[in-house]
A and B are shown apart, each in its own frame.
Chain A
């Protein structure tokens, strides 16, 4: 591209030296850089457009591996399966932290460098822009006829006074069109507009830093907890009542605001009409009673896309399932265990698996692995292996395999409520033993093997799995994201341009010249100059020279 017409650069946006708009400088080679010189050299390299571009593309590239391999944070089970399937290769991936790509050292290094580059870029630009906002438009160039959009009127005989009026009219017209105007020597008006373009661009980049800072610093304040609640039961927002919690660095149990949620009802809706989707879930609604100390209890609902905001937390409905209510009695008929047991869904028809542990009250510790089928398909249709064909409780069946031995509950180690470690247990009924497994329908009772007692399936209720989050960064991140968006639109679509109107005297006659100059992309510059020329010449009653 040809070199630009020389003009005062003081109101130009400041750009890295390898920006397309920057004047091309001869490479300054200083043999004796010294420490300061070397540092400055590296800083200039780091904050150049080329480095920014390189780092951007590197971020895009570096993000790819993490999308091809399951991630520890979003898909921990996937990681386990992947490692089992590719043991050798997984070691290499593990070494490079690919299962945690987005918090790995190398990924962090790239984006931190990018943001250092970004900050190094925006600080001088912001300072310069603040100064530019207070700098009047630069001098009118000596010749306009080599500039974009150049137009002129015909020559007209005029007095000095007319010229002053014409330039005054030019100033008013440009001001009215949103330009900042400066009049020179009473024979030209120099105008500039679109400072918002640079403002928007800077806001865009600064807000990007804002998002990073909010996410980075705020991370320590975030905590998330999980709680499974069967219908009729309650949850109190205290540390001991959570099933699990992953606290951020700054989490303190005292900061939990005391509130209580009671699940009064859970209504899943399954498709019944559409033959292509019978039994598919179309709606889940959890009805809860929420009480906050000092306030009247209220009825609230939580749905999949509408969480409950309560006491500095957001409560999400992320899972649900069935919980058979089971009662176990000792041989004398005394109840030793009775409660709903949340079962984990295994498929869309809610075939579910769960574990019952009875450490006390029977002659031995007893563990049971249960499979529950909301609508068991009759063996005549589906074959011998039982399975569920509908998520609703149409033909509910619970099967149990019974074990005795040490349940491992007394060791003090945390135990997963959803799994039974059968290593130290002896199976006494069910598949693989001489005694057939237990099959129960609601209301039925069966004898436990070896005269241990009885087990009854009272009824089957639903439970919900709630995720409870506290994330004070959310609003910050959203606000910065909105600024990113607004800054982007402003920075891209507001044209920054200069326009000049100049009275040129030649031999007792005068004509007006018009021209403009774009700073950055400005496809409408010519039209804008032509429009101003048309209005101005009409005001003065002059014709344009064809």
Chain B
């Protein structure tokens, strides 16, 4: 007997999910446009500032605190290595950046809604195949981006983040789409819930860290050319400190992913490590980011060099997710028991 009503509900939920995702893509596109416009504004702002004769001291007084804090550049005396200034340089916000944020939040709510509907339709967590994993991972990237705003103004990354997510949602809905099908036995495990979710979290943090590193490289080049610090975007040094903090969180999640994946592999395949293609790439990513962390502690490797490593590391994450999933054969492709 086929439970007809169940089939109908599933189809309906799948449709809700897709409608929500398509709508979110439309709004992300609007956000992307505003963020790009804001970037253009920042660059022209930077030009004006670079033309200004002197760099003024930025003193940001924090309410409730007894002290006046000065921005990194203006700190009197030497700054000990490894020391980072907590206070953010206050950056003027443009209207377009604020609109970008508003649209991003709206799109994200739809995005999360669409992902949840997909999970409801399937009757399980919505990250069991590439299509679903892309929905969830991109929702997490935006979620991390939004949550971090409470602590640190990262609006200048808006164009990067929304553009990135838009591309991946597009590829997911067009190229990765699969109908809701039941999980093969190897995937039926609570480790699916934990392992894959934490992997997406790690991906989110790595992605933002890599984005910051890209901006850092651009800033560093500007600064090296003597164009002066650009106030509309944090200094290269500050960007590096931010990227580092995000990436070490990503690294912790990634380490957990690796361990949890090994435990799961032992349950499902009878060995915890077998140098399966997917395992190899997860390991490669882990080692690259361990290298990044080391580079940050090695004299001569701070700055642009370690930023480049972060970007290479995140490229390996993307490679692992796209090329390895699609073209390499291994146990992770679930070609049958």
- Using a CB–CB distance below 8 Å, which chain A residues touch chain B? 1-5, 15, 18-22, 24, 49-50, 52-53, 56-57, 59-60, 63-64, 66-68, 70-71, 73-75, 78, 101-102, 146-148, 151, 224, 271-277, 280-284, 303-307, 314, 316, 318-320, 345, 348, 467, 469, 471, 474, 477-478, 481-482, 484-485, 488-489, 492, 517-527, 530, 533-534, 544, 546
A17 to B30, CA, bound (A): 51
Q: Can you list 9 A-B pairs, Cβ within 8 angstroms, ordered by A?
A: A53-B295, A66-B275, A283-B185, A284-B337, A305-B188, A307-B267, A481-B259, A523-B84, A533-B66
- C-alpha spacing A521/B306, complex, angstroms: 15
B142 within 8 A of partner (CB): no
Instruction: State whether A20 touches B298 (Cβ < 8 A).
Output: yes
Cross-chain contact B330 with A75 (CB below 8 angstroms):
yes
- Which of A5, A517, A521, A534 has the most C-beta atoms of chain B within 10 angstroms of its own C-beta? A521
Contacts of B80 in A (CB 8 A): 2, 4-5, 147-148, 517-518
Residues on A with beta carbons closer than 8 Å to the beta carbon of B330: 74-75
Task: Check A305–B291 contact: CB distance below 8 A.
Answer: no
In the complex, whether B95 has a CB less than 8 A from a CB of chain A is: no
Q: Which of A74, A305, A489, A492 contacts B276 (CB 8 A)?
A: A74
Given A67-B280, A67-B281, CB of A282 within 8 Å of CB of B67: no
New contact pairs (12) apart from A60-B291, A303-B185, CB-CB < 8 Å: A2-B78, A2-B79, A2-B80, A49-B297, A57-B288, A146-B76, A148-B79, A273-B7, A276-B181, A283-B188, A345-B336, A469-B271
Contact of A488 among B188, B252, B298 (CB under 8 A): B252
**Partner pick for A281 among B184, B302, B324, CB 8 A cutoff:** B184
Instruction: Return B252 CB to nearest CB of chain A, in Å.
Output: 6
Is B182 at the interface (CB under 8 A from chain A)?
Answer: yes
Choose, from B155-163, B209-217, B240-248, the stretch at the interface: B240-248
Known: A63-B283, A146-B76, A283-B188. A489 touches B82 (CB 8 A): no
Q: Verify A523–B245 contact, CB threshold 8 A.
A: yes
Q: Are A304 and B287 in contact (CB under 8 A)?
A: no
Q: Which residues of the other chain, B, contact A517 by a CB distance below 8 angstroms?
A: 80, 83
Instruction: Say whether B2 faces chain A, with CB atoms less than 8 Å apart.
Output: yes
The answer, among B84, B275, B294, for a CB contact under 8 Å with A56, is B294
Closest 3 CB pairs of A and B: A2-B78, A304-B185, A316-B270
Supposing A60-B291, A282-B183, A303-B185 touch, asked if A521 and B81 sit within 8 A by C-beta, the answer is no
Quick one: which of B145-194 are within 8 Å of A by CB?
Answer: 179-186, 188-189, 191
Query: Which residue on B lies nearest to A304, using beta carbons?
Result: B185
Q: In the complex, what distance in Å separates the CA atom of A275 from the CA atom of B7?
A: 9
Contact of A146 among B2, B78, B274, B288 (CB under 8 A): B78
Q: Mark B76-96, 1 if CB is under 8 A from A, else 0.
A: 111111111111000000000
Q: Which of B86, B328, B329 has the most chain A CB within a 10 Å cutoff? A: B86
**Docked pose: A527 CA to B69 CA in angstroms:** 11
Q: Are B269 and A318 in contact, CB atoms less than 8 angstroms apart?
A: yes
Contact A492 B248 (CB under 8 A): yes
Q: Point out the residue from B83, B186, B244 that lies within 8 Å of A304, measured CB to CB.
A: B186
B contact residues around A5 at 8 Å (CB): 78, 80
Q: Are B188 and A53 in contact (CB under 8 A)?
A: no
Indicate if B300 sits at the interface (CB-CB under 8 A): yes
Nearest CB on B from A129, distance (A): 16
- The answer to whether A64 touches B284, judged by C-beta atoms less than 8 angstroms apart, is yes
Q: Tell me if B284 and A20 are in contact (CB < 8 A).
A: no
Contact of A274 among B181, B295, B302 (CB under 8 A): B181
Chain B residues lying within 8 Å of A273, measured Cβ to Cβ, are 2-3, 6-7
CA distance A303 to B179 in the complex (A): 26
Most buried by A among B3, B87, B299: B299
In the complex, are the beta carbons of B268 and A304 less than 8 A apart? yes
| Interface flag for B16 (CB, 8 Å) | no
The answer to whether A492 touches B329, judged by C-beta atoms less than 8 angstroms apart, is: no
Q: For the complex, is B315 an interface residue (Cβ under 8 Å from A)? A: no
* A146-B76, A518-B80, A526-B87 given; A282·B184 CB < 8 A: yes
A542 to chain B, nearest CB (A): 11
Q: CB distance A60 to B284 under 8 Å?
A: yes
CA A306 – CA B7 in complex, angstroms? 30
Evaluate contact between A20 and B291: CB separation under 8 angstroms. no
Are B299 and A18 closer than 8 Å at their CB atoms?
A: yes
Across the interface, name the chain B residue whose C-beta is closest to A271: B182
Which of B79, B83, B251 meets A522, CB within 8 Å? B83
Q: A477 vs B299: C-alpha distance in the bound complex, in angstroms?
A: 33
By the criterion CB–CB under 8 Å, are A151 and B66 in contact? yes
With a cutoff of 8 Å between Cβ atoms, the chain A residues found around residue B189 in the complex are 305
Contact status A318-B287, CB under 8 Å: no
CB of B109 closer than 8 Å to a CB of A: no
B227 CB-CB contact with A under 8 Å: no
In the bound complex, do residue B337 and residue A314 qualify as a contact, i.e. CB atoms below 8 Å apart? no
Q: Which residue of B83, B267, B271, B331 is within 8 Å of A148 (Cβ)? A: B83
Instruction: Please tell me which one of the listed residues B10, B83, B331 contacts residue A525 in the complex, with CB atoms under 8 A apart.
Output: B83
Most B CB within 10 A of own CB, among A20, A303, A471, A520: A20
A280 and B181 in contact (CB under 8 A), knowing A49-B298, A52-B294? yes
Contact A546 B79 (CB under 8 A): no
Q: Is B22 an interface residue (CB 8 A)?
A: no
Report chain B residues within 8 Å CB of A66: 275, 280
Residues of chain A with a CB closer than 8 A to B309's CB: 57
CA of A316 to CA of B268, assembled, Å: 8
Give the most central of A151, A273, A471: most B CB within 10 Å. A273
A1 CA / B303 CA spacing, docked (Å)? 11
Q: Which residues in B have their C-beta under 8 angstroms from that of A492?
A: 248, 251-252
B272 → A minimal CB distance (Å): 7
Q: Is B48 on the interface with A (CB-CB < 8 A)?
A: no
What is the CA–CA distance of A22 and B69 in the complex, to the nearest angstrom? 28
Interface string of B302-326 (1 = CB under 8 A from A): 1000000100000010000000100
Measured CB to CB, the nearest residue on chain B to A518 is B83
- Are B79 and A477 neighbours in the complex by a CB distance under 8 Å? no
Inside 8 A of A524's CB, which chain B residues have their CB? 86
Do the beta carbons of B299 and A530 come within 8 Å of each other?
no
Once the chains bind, are A73 and B69 in contact (CB under 8 Å)?
Answer: no
Complex CA–CA separation, A56 to B306 (angstroms)? 13
State how many angstroms separate the Cβ of B99 from the closest Cβ of chain A: 30
Partner of B182, one of A3, A274, A477: A274
Whether B298 and A304, one on each chain, are in contact in the complex, defined by CB atoms closer than 8 angstroms, is: no
Residues of chain A within 8 A of B2, CB atoms compared: 272-273
Distance A74 CA – B67 CA, assembled complex (angstroms) = 62
Which residues from chain B contact A345 at a C-beta distance below 8 Å?
336
Q: How far is the CA of A314 from the CA of B272 in the complex (A)?
A: 12
Q: Are A102 and B270 in contact (CB under 8 A)?
A: no
Q: Is the CB of A20 within 8 A of B82?
A: yes
Quick check: is B105 within 8 A (CB to CB) of the other chain?
no
B250-272 at interface with A (beta carbon < 8 Å): 251-252, 255-256, 259, 262-264, 266-272
* A74 and B275 form a contact (CB under 8 A): yes
Partner among B86, B281, B287, B302 whose Cβ is within 8 Å of the Cβ of A523: B86
